[in-house]
Structure 1
Amino acid sequence: MGASGTGKIALITGAGSGIGRAVALALHGEGYSLFLVGRRLEKLDETAAIAAQTGKADIACFAADVSDPEQVVVAFEACRSRFGRLDLLFNNAGTGAPPVPFEELTYAQWRAVVDVNLTGTFLCIQQAFRLMKEQVPRGGRIINNGSISAEAPRPFSSPYTATKHGVTGLTKSASLDGRAYDIAVGQIDIGNAATEMTERMAKGILQPDGSVRAEPVMDVKEAARAVAYMASLPLDANVLFMTVMATKMPFVGRG
């Protein structure tokens, strides 16, 4: 089944909630057909139902764990079978570990974050490359969801921070390796977008000095609009890195 609107196809991981859902809605509003990927099919169906209220492009949902290489391959094959091509991959699936002291973090907790945030991003980029190199017209765009935490870590966040540093490395390497094949790769670093995951920020979050303070947040729709802008560029133009954040959140300076 083909696309309507822009005629472009976007695959979004972690599309069942938060930033992934917001980006799906924004892109669908721009006429993208969507291939929504996540671990919980019922959450993907919710995203699809909301999107369908405001747009007419096709939407498909596919349950998969991005940390599993076989499931990633099957997901991208299903996308190709459904839509015939892929124009945009938004690598959004991510997770964190419990905020415990460094020495109390278990290997299993560390590994779970690495498998999703870093290995999952790699696996999806790899499959997108294979599809985008072969399709006609050739090429496409990949946008990775990084994090400003990679530059300014929160207390007790070593797995998340380390993996987001790794995502930045993947973005740079994939951007270089994709040049010859008309594949544009960029990254968005989002700070304090209001989602279910950031509800605690408004109530109070641990600061490096040991205090607990509320932090400003921004509407998640602003992050989604930023991704949609990156996606709107022709393939001969690219936003390599973008930071979009709540203006008054503690990031630059000393709080």
Structure 2
Amino acid sequence: MELHGKTIIVTGASSGIGAAAALLFAAEGANLILGARRSIELDAVAARISDAGVGKAVVLAGDVRNEDYAQALVELAVDRFGRLDGAFNNAGIVGEMVPAASMSLETWHEIITVNLTSAFLAAKAQIPVMKEQGFGSIVFTSSFVGFSNGGLPGMGAYAASKAGQIGLMRALASEHAADGIRINAVLPGGTITPAGGQGNAAVLDFVANLHPMKRMAEAREIAQAALFLLSDRSSFVTGSPMLADGGISVRLA
């Protein structure tokens, strides 16, 4: 029970890595605040947690690009459970994959706002409560694509947003280490999710073969990495871009 009694926010919790994380964290004893845009899917994840009889989950649907929504998730955590131990700020999109010279400004803004601005808004809402408590752990879902030697064609906006997350994470980690707040990022490789080509055998096979391990990650495997960063096992870890990428960044290097 790595998260027994801890209250954790999970965004992007309606599917993919976020849903897998919600189920895993609940099994480890967490009280969860689940956020995403799709309320029906969020309710379904919460129902699975309730049926399992371990952990607790409440849901609040909304848009992570909205500052009021980021604050509402924090307030819900404190109102329901009296504290906020951690947050897995996981919501994000890949967006349209086109060369930068052909990318519309609308596409650029959408990807940057959903992936990077939302991370800033989440941390802005979460840090004051954690600072007052004297403890907390924040984890962002970045990507190997935003890491050194991780660039892929057609992913300029996505790479910029995920690299920006790493820069933001490191600055925040430095600012708040003395406050007892640890801030890290998990950097997945190709993961079998709706956004990662789930259901398309040709795409899955192509992406799998980019990895030295010759497979893609299951969403639960990335959730396990986030669990480590949120748990007390990582008590001396902050400012870390933690690769969970099946070695793809090694190959690209």
Q: Is the Cα–Cα contact under 8 Å of residues 190 and 216 in structure 2 kept in the other structure?
A: yes
Deviation, 1:235, is 7.1
Query: Counterpart of 1:88?
Result: 86
Whether 2:211 is the aligned partner of 1:213: answer no
Which residue number corresponds to residue 202 of structure 2?
203
Measure, in 1, the Cα distance between the counterparts of 2:219 and 2:235. 28
1:174 aligns with 2:172: yes
1:37–1:44 Cα contact (<8 Å) kept: yes
**Paired residues of 1:13 and 1:20 also in contact (CA < 8 A):** yes
Query: In the aligned structure 2, how far is the partner of 1:87 from the partner of 1:144?
Result: 15
Contact between 1:121 and 1:167, CA under 8 Å: does it hold in 2?
yes
Matches for 1:75-224 after TM superposition, within 5 Å: 75-135=73-133, 138-151=134-147, 152-199=150-197, 202-204=201-203, 213-215=206-208, 216-224=215-223
The corresponding residue for 1:8 is 6
Cα gap change, 1:218 to 1:82, in 2 (>3 Å): same
* 8 Å contact kept, 1:35–1:61: yes
Greater helix share, structure number: 2
Alpha-carbon deviation of 1:60? 0.4
Cα distance between partner residues in 1 of 2:181 and 2:243: 21
Query: How many residues end up aligned between the 2 structures?
Result: 241
Check conservation: 1:139, 1:183, Cα contact below 8 A: yes
Please report the RMSD computed on the Cα atoms of aligned residues, expressed in angstroms. 2.1
Q: Find the aligned partners of 1:241 and 1:75 in 2 and give their Cα distance.
A: 25
Alignment of 1:3-82 (within 5 A): 6-82=4-80
Give secondary structure in 1 for the equivalent of 2:65. coil
Q: Percent identity?
A: 30
Q: Deviations over 1:87-120 (max 9, x none)?
A: 0110101012211222221111111111111110
Residue by residue, what CA displacement relative to the aligned partner does 1:145-196 show, whole Å, maximum 9, x if unpaired?
Answer: 1100113122211111001010001110111111121101111100012111
Residue ranges of structure 1 left out of the alignment (5+ in a row): 206-211
| Secondary structure in structure 1 of the residue aligned to 2:59 | strand
For 1:88 and 1:19, the matched residues in 2 are separated by 17
Deviates more, 1:121-130 or 1:226-235: 226-235
- Give the corresponding residue for 1:241: 241
The 8 Å contact of residues 92 and 145 in structure 1, kept in 2 or not, is answered as: yes
| TM-score scaled by length of structure 2 | 0.88
Q: Cα deviations across residues 7-26 of structure 1 (Å, max 9, x unaligned)?
A: 11000111111001111111
**1:149 counterpart letter in structure 2:** V
Please report the TM-score for the alignment, with normalisation by the length of structure 1: 0.87
Q: Aligned-pair distance for 1:76?
A: 1.7
Runs of 4 or more, structure 1, over 6 Å off, are: none
Equivalent-residue separation in structure 2 for 1:253 and 1:61 (angstroms)? 40
- Is the contact between residue 189 and residue 241 of structure 1 (CA under 8 Å) also seen in structure 2? yes
Residue 43 of structure 1 aligns to a residue whose secondary structure is: helix
Structure 2 unpaired stretches of 5+: 209-214
- After superposition, the C-alpha distances for 1:177-226 in whole angstroms (9 at most, x for unaligned) are 11121101111100012111112674137xxxxxx935231222111112
Give the distance between the partners of 1:232 and 1:69, measured in 2 at CA: 27
Q: Does the 8 A contact of 2:190 with 2:207 survive in 1? A: no
